[in-house]
Amino acid sequence: MAAYNSINDLLNIVSADTTEDFIKQINELFQKHSIAEYQIWDVIGNICEPCQYIPSDIYATFDIYELGYKEDELFIKNINLDISYFDYTYHIDSAIFFAHNSRVTHIITFEKPLPDELEEKIKFIAYYFGKRAVELFSKERQMDLYVDYQKKVDFVKRASIIFMGLEIQEVISMSLSFFMDVFSADAVCAFYQNEFHGIGVNEDDLIENITIYDMPLKDYIMNIDETIFIENEVTSPKFNIKNTFFIYDKSSDLRFALFNIIVDIVPDKDFSSLVSSIVSIATENALNHEALTKFKIEETEIAHTADILNKFVKRTIQLDGNDKIYGISYPARNAGGDFVNLMQIGDDYIFCVADVCGKGYSAAVLTVVLSVFMSHFQSADELTSKVTSLNQFLISKNFGDRFITSFFGVYHSQTKELEYISCGHDPAAVLSKHNKIEYMTSDYMPMGIMLEDYKSKSIQIDDDSIIFIYTDGLIEYSSLDDLLCLFNALSNKKSKDIAESLYKELVTDTSLQKDDFTCLIMKI
């Protein structure tokens, strides 16, 4: 009957559903046979330590080979080993190794020989012991991994609510609630830009009622530069604080403190890094959203500003009923720094082509100055005095590195004389009907740099000539010689067609336009 029960006991061990039940039934089997001097070991890799399911007064760790392990032998007798762990010595007479496919999960060492009957049955079933032990280990390991995975998924899902915050204050509020929930914390607080936020604790408590390493907790929080879990170092006459989890996000200088958290795993370096990353990403998202919102508002304001600036600079210039004079100014950006203007006073045509140093809105603002300046012309005789006044005004405002290259001219149609002042501008050209080119070069520095004693020059314009004034945006695409060659090839067209054809020929892709494109064409 005893033999029958032993076999049943062995079968019960082999059919156990959990590792814990497996080990406990083995323990019961040995107790039934009055075997007391044995030790059951858990094996992780090659390291053996007392089995977690069987109480042990002595904790020791050994290498698997120190316990007599030999590959392909599951039951080894007559080992006769004495191994020591500090002042305690284990004697090993025989051992069972629960192994399968080169994986060992448990070892049972015996100090004395087993009864012959039990030894024979164990030797017979040792293979099945090992196979079942490995099966249970693998099953439970997979379950542990699955549970751990589910915990991580749940943690991330719950953390994702923080990412919904579109403003930094929202992120802080959501983070406080999230930390309270996921860590089952008793209290939590945060500092952002020296502003306190808290649940279950107030700022005065951190100054007066809670200390760490003999300093007020607020001082510690404001100087901490890492995410760290601390136990038993925070003291308070008002609160019972067992542990504190400090979270620091360097990118946003956001600091959290959680009190008495409950977690399945103590927040180690990797876990702390994960929590810090969640806070960091959420705050970065919020700050980026805030910056994007601000940018969109500014972009709208800039667009309105561009519209206003563009009202002062016409894109095309043409006098009513006069198709011989035409100008264009096409900026490379929404607002440009080029300027072209033309007005007629009696029989005289007063015009200006200018290029403000720089691009964009700051340059465009100075074109408004030019526009106002041109509107104050009362007579063609004012050219020298007006240019002098404008230069003095620009110098007085001290625009720093901002200056203006400009070509001011007055064409007297009665005398066919062109009077001009060129201030650091590219040479203007007069093309005669005999393909002769006469250049009008600059005698002065660009405006806004230094005071000048301006004196205008004059040239006589022959019939059927073309006056061509341009900015350096055209030279970006072609040399001056090639530009004038192209201009000459188009000279039979109307002034408007010449200007528009130049733009289409030179700026083949408007999205890649390098600089403002401005010119004025006057057919005489």
What would the pLDDT profile of 239-263 be if each residue is shown by its tens digit?
Answer: 999 999 998 888 778 899 999 987 6
Give CA–CA dist 312/25, Å, rounded.
Answer: 96
| DSSP character at residue 265 | S
Residue 154, burial from CB neighbour count under 10 angstroms (0-12, 13-18, 19+): exposed
- Is residue 340 within 8 A of residue 366, CB to CB? The reply is no
Comparing 2-153 with 165-290, is the CATH topology the same? yes
User: Which distant-in-sequence residues (6+ apart) come within 8 Å of 154 by Cβ?
Assistant: none
256: nearest Cα among 186, 216, 197? 197
Residue ranges covered by each domain of the chain: 2-153, 165-290, 312-523
Q: Does the 2-153 domain belong in CATH 3.40.50.920? A: no
- Show the low-confidence residues of the chain (pLDDT under 50): 1-4
Instruction: Give the distance between the most distant pair of CA atoms in the chain.
Output: 141
- Is residue 353 within 8 A of residue 337, CB to CB? The reply is no
The alpha carbon dihedral of 110, 116, 118, 119 has a sign of: positive
**Rg, Å, the chain Cα set:** 45
* Amino acid letter, 464: D
465: nearest Cα among 441, 440, 434? 434
pTM score of the predicted model: 0.49
Strand partners, 49: 42
Rounded to the nearest 5 percent, the helix, strand and coil shares of the chain are 40, 25, 30
Average pLDDT value over all residues in the chain:
86
State how beta strands 466-470 and 517-523 pair: antiparallel
pLDDT score of 421: 97
Residue 376, burial from CB neighbour count under 10 angstroms (0-12, 13-18, 19+): exposed
254: nearest Cα among 285, 209, 293? 285
User: Which distant-in-sequence residues (6+ apart) come within 8 Å of 227 by Cβ?
Assistant: 246, 247, 248, 272, 273, 275, 276
Q: Which residue has the tokens 């090839």?
A: 489
pLDDT score of 3: 44
Give CA–CA dist 297/203, Å, rounded.
Answer: 36
344: nearest Cα among 422, 419, 416, 412? 412
Give CA–CA dist 248/280, Å, rounded.
Answer: 9
Start-to-end CA span in the chain (Å): 132
- Is residue 515 within 8 A of residue 363, CB to CB? The reply is no
Give CA–CA dist 377/379, Å, rounded.
Answer: 6
Q: In CATH, what is the architecture of 312-523?
A: 4-Layer Sandwich (3.60)
390: phi then psi, degrees, rounded to nearest 5: -65, -45
- Is residue 453 within 8 A of residue 387, CB to CB? The reply is no
Alpha helices in 15-101 (DSSP H): 19-32
Structure-block tokens of residue 308: 């206003």
Give CA–CA dist 470/454, Å, rounded.
Answer: 21
pLDDT score of 438: 93
Residue 23 three-state SS: helix
Number of H helices, E strands in the chain: 12, 27
pLDDT score of 164: 67
Give CA–CA dist 432/468, Å, rounded.
Answer: 11
Chain CA centroid to CA 131, Å? 52
pLDDT score of 276: 67
- Is residue 519 within 8 A of residue 327, CB to CB? The reply is yes
Q: Which fold has domain 165-290?
A: Beta-Lactamase (3.30.450)
Structure-block tokens of residue 186: 């008793």
